[in-house]
Amino acid sequence: MSASCARAPRDERGFALLTVILVLALLSVVVTEFAFSVRLETAMVRAYRDGILGRNLAEAGVQQAIREILTDSNVQGLDEDGQVVFYTLPPGGTEPQRLPSLTRQHVPLGAGEFSYRILDEESRLNINGGQTARTQRLLQAIGVDKNARDTITDSIEDWRDANDTARPAGAESEDYLKLPVPYRARNANIQDIAELLQIKGITPEIYYGTAERPGLVSIVTAWGPSTLNLNTASAPALAAMGFSDAEISAVMQSRKSAPYAAVPSQFGGRRTTTASNTFRIEAEGLVAGEPRGRIVAIVQKSTSTGSGNTATILSWRRDAPRPTPKEGSSKS
């Protein structure tokens, strides 16, 4: 047998081995890609499922908060975390009696849990009140200089009024349409306080606040009456209502021990009260300990003759869930 004939089978076996190696390598790539796709799709399905579950849990938190709001409370105060606690003042009584609160943190439900906060919307100033002097005092209380105060006050009123005539320091649609991303003034009442970021003169620092001073986002509202709850209002809000530094200090100190049952005579005539009917609910749904859904709702309580207390949803917004702080990290 010739040498060439002897090499032929060996060459064929080598080619076959190379083919097998290539096929196995290709199969390995296909299997790896398939496994990655399966894991990705599984993660996407899990995230979608957890998102739906988280939103449902957050809605459950809102409903439980409404249960607390609909109690027969006629006085509200604050706990150590700044949340609303409910009191009742018996007819003829002078000492408010605290009503029991439901569990608000990590309430188990089905495959997850929910947490919520109840805040007093009537501890905030209604930005649609149209009282420029009050807005000026508020801006001064949070450290805004005079020129910026004039610009912001005039611009807020221009945003709200129905005409297109700008005030001396204000702005109308003509000004906003010249911006890189143009838009028009609403020419009606503000519907959500996030609109303030669109108004001339209001910077993110003024809106969100800084480490040294609070921002408008935590002091003003677009809902509720133009009165202010003496038991829950912040110092800047009280300053906007015309309270002096000494009066604000006295209010803050007095309400630590117990909320005011009624507005003291020395504070009369300043549109303050001790009872609220409009509340903000911030609810989160958690799955496996992680926030997966968040809802912020504004709820107004009303009493109908013969049918008890009822709640009206004034605003309902789904927010992105806030990440759980890592152990050892500071909380904002």
Q: List, for residues 35-49, the tens digit of each pLDDT value.
A: 878 787 777 888 888
What pTM does this model have?
Answer: 0.82
Poorest-pLDDT segment among 99-103, 181-185, 223-227, 285-289: 223-227
Poorest-pLDDT segment among 90-99, 115-124, 188-197, 315-324: 315-324
Q: Categorize the per-residue pLDDT at 332 as very low, low, confident or very high, splitting at 50, 70 and 90.
A: very low
pLDDT given for residue 281 in this prediction: 97
In angstroms, the CA 258 to CA 245 distance is: 21
Structure token pair of residue 70: 């609909």
Buried b (16+ CB within 10 A) or exposed e, 161-198: beeeebbebbbbbeebeeeeeeeebbeeebeebebbeb
In angstroms, the CA 248 to CA 253 distance is: 9
Is the pLDDT score of 51 beyond 80? yes
Is the pLDDT score of 156 beyond 70? yes
172: Cβ contacts below 8 Å, ≥ 6 apart: 158, 164, 165, 166, 185
Structure token pair of residue 229: 């709850």
Average pLDDT over residues 170-174: 96
How confident is the model over 193-214, as pLDDT tens digits? 999 999 999 999 999 999 999 9
Is the pLDDT score of 331 beyond 50? no
Q: Categorize the per-residue pLDDT at 5 as very low, low, confident or very high, splitting at 50, 70 and 90.
A: low
**Taking the domains of the chain in order of start, what are their residue ranges?**
1-124+223-233+261-332, 126-218
- Running DSSP on this structure, what letter comes out for residue 96? -
Q: Categorize the per-residue pLDDT at 10 as very low, low, confident or very high, splitting at 50, 70 and 90.
A: low
pLDDT given for residue 85 in this prediction: 96
Is the pLDDT score of 186 beyond 90? yes
Helix H, strand E, coil C: the string for 6-47 is: HHHHHHHHHHHHHHHHHHHHHHHHHHHHHHHHHHHHHHHHHH
Contact of 235 with 243, CB cutoff 8 Å: no
Q: Categorize the per-residue pLDDT at 327 as very low, low, confident or very high, splitting at 50, 70 and 90.
A: very low
pLDDT given for residue 206 in this prediction: 97
Helix (H, G, I), strand (E, B) or coil at 325: coil
Q: Give the position of tokens 């620092």.
A: 205
List beta partners, residue 86: 76
How confident is the model over 66-111, as pLDDT tens digits? 999 999 999 999 999 999 999 999 888 889 999 999 999 999 999 9
pLDDT given for residue 20 in this prediction: 80
Buried b (16+ CB within 10 A) or exposed e, 266-281: ebeeeebbbbbbbbbb
pLDDT given for residue 88 in this prediction: 94
pLDDT given for residue 307 in this prediction: 67
126-218: CATH topology: Ribonucleotide Reductase Protein R1; domain 1 (1.10.40)
Structure token pair of residue 143: 């450290």
- For residues 262, 225, 211, 231, the Cα torsion angle rounded to the nearest 10 degrees is 10
Q: Categorize the per-residue pLDDT at 268 as very low, low, confident or very high, splitting at 50, 70 and 90.
A: confident
Helix (H, G, I), strand (E, B) or coil at 59: helix
Q: How far is CA 69 from the centre of its chain?
A: 18
